Structure 1
């Protein structure tokens, strides 16, 4: 019997284990190879839930040496069923771990003190869950602190995200942010359930949380209370689109939200529907006022006097007013240069500062 090297043995031990997470297990097949005597080796095959089968990790038709037991053939993203075009045909786990540790050490020299076998276990576990070598490397190099997590801790996190419908790429985005790794799985589960309860289901939950991981830090009870307040201003069906368009509406001070709402509703004469379809609550009040005042002075916006005033339909939509760059906004309304618009914005900022100072002086006099 040929003895496997230490690194090869670690990979062999890891990949011959049976894993039940995500309906995944490995089928062991015995193959006989010629060479230095009769040597028995295990050929492994991925199996997924509902009878789905993927190509063998090591093809039983190809004669391999003991060293090649540590190599994977075309890792497959099992959630999307696509192959990462940036990876090699055969990935050596040992080499992948070396590359990850080397790249991480360039930013954090303490990475060199980590237990290499523990890091190898973590990397192997991600690969066995269907993560491509490229995705695994990019995530760990971007966030070296993840290397300090044990395989068990990372496995629980990845499995939890999988249960709630997150793709590997979406999970990687959240893990790189560092938000989820500092939270217990039970706390994460409560957060997921709270968002689902307000109507953020299907792919909405993974999409919004992967783009704005900070939402996970919001206490479930605080989220419920914020939704209750929003329902006083908007329809129930508008809540999820509002959070998707302006995620920080969950954290923003409620008084600031009210100021924005009142300004757009009363001063600009724009109703809730346009607020929902824009990213209104992602901007400051001064930003909204600057855009609005510019339009008024340039003759592109007139305040409707009545509910059925036909002038309402001639005003630009709120999304066109707010959700554009300064350069595009200046060109769209008045064909101004970006330099001229920035000069106008700076002038308005000084006016706002004077208003604020005057307001503070009045408050002090009243006291």
Structure 2
């Protein structure tokens, strides 16, 4: 009898008591999801940050979005940073993420270039397909960039795909016709990284100081600065080494140029009104003659 009681006591003692829940990621609902994220390579702290993004979202959607970014070759921290900057990606269907990544690869972006492009510009995943196709078509068919040049443009300036095609074309035409720059130099200088307004300001400032001349049949009487220097030098260095001017002079110039643009726009509007009134007069005289 005593033996049976002792053996029963031994079995009871062997049953472990439930341990208290660990602080942090768990309570219940988040436990399994956090474990799944850690299994994908996220640290405990990274998993906590990821779980904090849109907490009402289902775990499968969150894990699928994170997995797709990891498959692109992004590190766990880079993928997390991308989702923090653009949490909308968490709600995108997995198929759409896969499809957009495939489209970018078909444009020549792969490996490190693809990783850098989506890290700099997460909107590439949510950009409407037609908008992206229109920008690509313009760069290839109207701006005449080669496939290799296009790949380089997209790798270094992925936000170019977010531009309105009309404005993108104007940006290209200004550099090509007004500045006399060829496609190869545009790509090397990363033309589309600088906003068009700043490009125009710097170019016209140099032009009016006699330091830049639009080439005629490929020739100029002055030695123009390289496009790369115009675009990539910080403003302070641009003024000191290229324009040989002061920040104060440049600020005055930009204000005067903006005023000129407003006056030109006003003159264009006045001409449009005048032409419209003349057309109305012609139409009214024609109708009177027809009635007579």
1:207 is displaced (CA, Å) by: 1.3
Alpha carbons 2:153, 2:187 under 8 Å: kept: yes
RMSD of aligned residue pairs (Cα, Å): 2.4
Q: 1:188 pairs with 91, 97, 120, which one?
A: 97
Does residue 147 (structure 1) correspond to residue 55 (structure 2)? The answer is yes
Structure 2 counterpart SS, 1:147: coil
Shift of 1:243: 1.9
Post-superposition offset of 1:291:
0.6
1:300 Cα deviation (Å)?
A: 2.2
User: What is the match of residue 200 of structure 1?
Assistant: 109
Please show how residues 99-178 of structure 1 align to structure 2 within 5 Å: 116-137=27-48, 144-176=52-84, 177-178=86-87
Aligned to 1:361: 270
Please state which structure has a larger fraction of its residues in strand.
Answer: 1
Give 5+ residue unaligned stretches, structure 2: 1-14, 277-292
TM-superposed CA distance for 1:274, in Å, is 1.7
Which residue number corresponds to residue 279 of structure 1? 190
1:125 to partner: Cα distance = 2.3
Counterparts of residues 292-311 of structure 1 (less than 5 Å): 292-307=203-218, 309=219
TM-score (norm 2): 0.79
**Match in the other structure for 2:4:** none
1:9-35 alpha-carbon deviations (Å, 9 max, x no partner): xxxxxxxxxxxxxxxxxxxxxxxxxxx
Q: Name the residue aligned to 1:46.
A: none
Query: Which residue of structure 2 lines up, in the alignment, with residue 255 of structure 1?
Result: 166
Distance 1:246 1:207 in 2: 10
In our comparison, the structure showing a higher alpha carbon Rg is 2
CA distance in 2, matches of 1:345, 1:123: 54
How far did residue 301 of structure 1 move? 1.4
Q: CA deviation at 1:258?
A: 1.8
Q: Deviations over 1:50-84 (max 9, x none)?
A: xxxxxxxxxxxxxxxxxxxxxxxxxxxxxxxxxxx
Cα 1:360–1:254 change in 2 (3 A) is farther
Stretches of 4+ aligned residues off by more than 4 angstroms? 137-140
Q: Report if the CA contact (8 A) 1:190-1:220 is conserved.
A: no
Q: Scaled by the length of structure 1, what TM-score is found?
A: 0.64
- Given that 2:33 and 2:59 are in contact with CA atoms closer than 8 Å, whether structure 1 keeps it comes out as yes
What secondary structure sits across from 1:231 in the alignment? helix
CA distance in 2, matches of 1:219, 1:339: 43
TM superposition shift of 1:265: 1.0
Change (3 A) 1:146 1:362: same
Greater mean alpha carbon deviation, residues 180-189 or residues 162-171:
162-171
CA contact under 8 A between 2:157 and 2:192: conserved in structure 1?
yes
Distance 1:339 1:4, change over 3 A: farther
Provide the secondary structure at the position in 2 that maps to 1:5.
coil
Question: For residues 300-339 of structure 1, what are the structure 2 equivalents within 5 Å?
Answer: 300-307=211-218, 309=219, 314-339=223-248
Q: Deviations over 1:178-209 (max 9, x none)?
A: 13113111111111111111111122112110
